[in-house]
Structure 1
Amino acid sequence: MRKPTSHERMTGQHWDASYQRDEPAPWDIGGPQPTVVRLAAGGGFTGSVLDAGCGTGENALHLASLGLPVLGFDVAGTALAMARQKAADRRLAAEFVEADALRLDRLGRRFDTVLDCGLFHTFDSDERREYAASLATATATEHGGTLYVLCFSDEGTDTGPHPVSREDLTAAFGVGWTVAAIVPERVRTTFHDENGAPAWLATIRRS
């Protein structure tokens, strides 16, 4: 049985409740994040791809449209059903499964590239370390598997909820990983303007 995360305990709601409303979830912008599109265009995604906390699947589906084998996971069954319907409608071969981000060893699979777009910052400090260890079990060590984390930053104005610092990222990924880069970015939401919110893009290698 999965334990509620710190965010779920704080809000008193399962993540699935975010997808059972009339309006889209705040992070569901109706398409892939521009940062993900740019990374993909530059060859940042190679081999098999895992999309952590995939929601309704827009990032995973964009990568699948480029011919990459993609598995997206989430704990929200409603979001996964929406993602599967989109994949069928677009005739894309992305897979979507329900999984606990803190127990990815249960997937029994390893991926060459992992994307976390908006999940890391929802965890508290203890969960982040547990999450990093969980991700390690699903990330290939051969040829240095790569993890990209796009998360709300604590620097700048009009920050998103649960903003994190550079130090939060490096502290979480101190064991089994090498943090190659953390650069300022923007992340689109439904409650920010077209410029989005301040974010970090971290490139992290499996070691």
Structure 2
Amino acid sequence: MAGPNSHDDADAPNPWQRLDDLYAVRPPWEIGHPQPVFLDLARSGAIRGRVLDVGCGTGEHVLMCADLGLEATGVDLAATALAAARDKAQRRGAAVRFLHHDARRLTELGEQFDTVLDSGLFHLLDPEDRAAFTDGLRDVLRPGGRYFMLCFSDRQPRTGATGPHRLTRDDVTAAFADSLRIDSIEPATIEITLDPAGIRAWRVAMTRE
């Protein structure tokens, strides 16, 4: 459900013009349930308060948070994915929000959250976009708020000339050095439909001080 702070194509040019094409068929990261890493965080009680999922896709993590009784919002630039997310929410009777919004412009949401989730968004950002994202992330996180991120790591082999950036620990540390406190960077796995072994990833936890 788009709100007054979301942006449509008329006033927010989308440089990722082919993003919707990724959802023409089911993409490999749409596994039909939350990523196990985030499900473990939810079960541990680490995800709390008002939750924002950046790059929410078809909404599995937003709906996971709703199941926990949390107030949850998802943002994405892929209109096809958001339509699927809203359909899921309606069928499940979940009171959640899905906004068409650029994650590099989080400040423009005009809201603050206790937890921000990022399953595979940050590793899509080019280096020149990362500062805008991290600045906005700090703005939307309340003091003491947590950011949990799952991203491709440099341990994942590259199979083509394009695709998500493979990030080193130093890449992550440098990108967030001026915005959030890094609590942990741990090896993890992103589950996908194409390979039972999944994707080698980093699970990163940060706090706004």
The two structures have a TM-score, normalised by structure 2, of 0.88
Q: Give ranges in structure 2 of 5+ residues lacking alignment.
A: 1-10
1:190 Cα shift? 2.4
Q: Give ranges in structure 1 of 5+ residues lacking alignment.
A: none
CA distance in 2 between counterparts of 1:147 and 1:66 reads 18
| Residue number in structure 2 paired with 1:185 | 188
CA distance in 2 between counterparts of 1:134 and 1:191 reads 33
SS at match of 2:103: coil
Letter in structure 2 aligned against 1:184: P
Letter in structure 2 aligned against 1:134: G
**Pairwise mapping of residues 151-166 of structure 1 onto structure 2 (< 5 A)?**
151-155=151-155, 161-166=164-169
Over 3 Å counting, the alpha-carbon distance change for 1:76 and 1:204 in structure 2 is same
Over 3 Å counting, the alpha-carbon distance change for 1:105 and 1:161 in structure 2 is closer
| Residue number in structure 1 paired with 2:62 | 60
Query: Is residue 116–residue 150 contact of structure 1 (8 Å, CA) maintained in 2?
Result: yes
Query: Is residue 158–residue 197 contact of structure 1 (8 Å, CA) maintained in 2?
Result: no
CA distance in 2 between counterparts of 1:24 and 1:32 reads 15
SS at match of 1:116: strand
Q: What do residues 146-193 of structure 1 show as CA deviations (whole Å, max 9, x unaligned)? A: 000100111255788421111111111011211111000000122222
Moved more, 109-118 or 157-166: 157-166
CA distance in 1 between counterparts of 2:166 and 2:13 reads 23
| Residue number in structure 2 paired with 1:92 | 94
Query: Is residue 156–residue 166 contact of structure 2 (8 Å, CA) maintained in 1?
Result: no
CA distance in 2 between counterparts of 1:203 and 1:140 reads 15
1:27 Cα shift? 1.4
CA distance in 1 between counterparts of 2:164 and 2:103 reads 20
SS at match of 1:115: strand
2:205 to 169, 180, 203: 203
**Pairwise mapping of residues 117-196 of structure 1 onto structure 2 (< 5 A)?**
117-141=119-143, 144-155=144-155, 161-193=164-196, 195-196=197-198
Query: Is residue 104–residue 138 contact of structure 1 (8 Å, CA) maintained in 2?
Result: yes
Letter in structure 2 aligned against 1:173: F
1:14 equivalent to 2:12? Answer no
Give the count of matched residue pairs: 196
| Residue number in structure 2 paired with 1:109 | 111
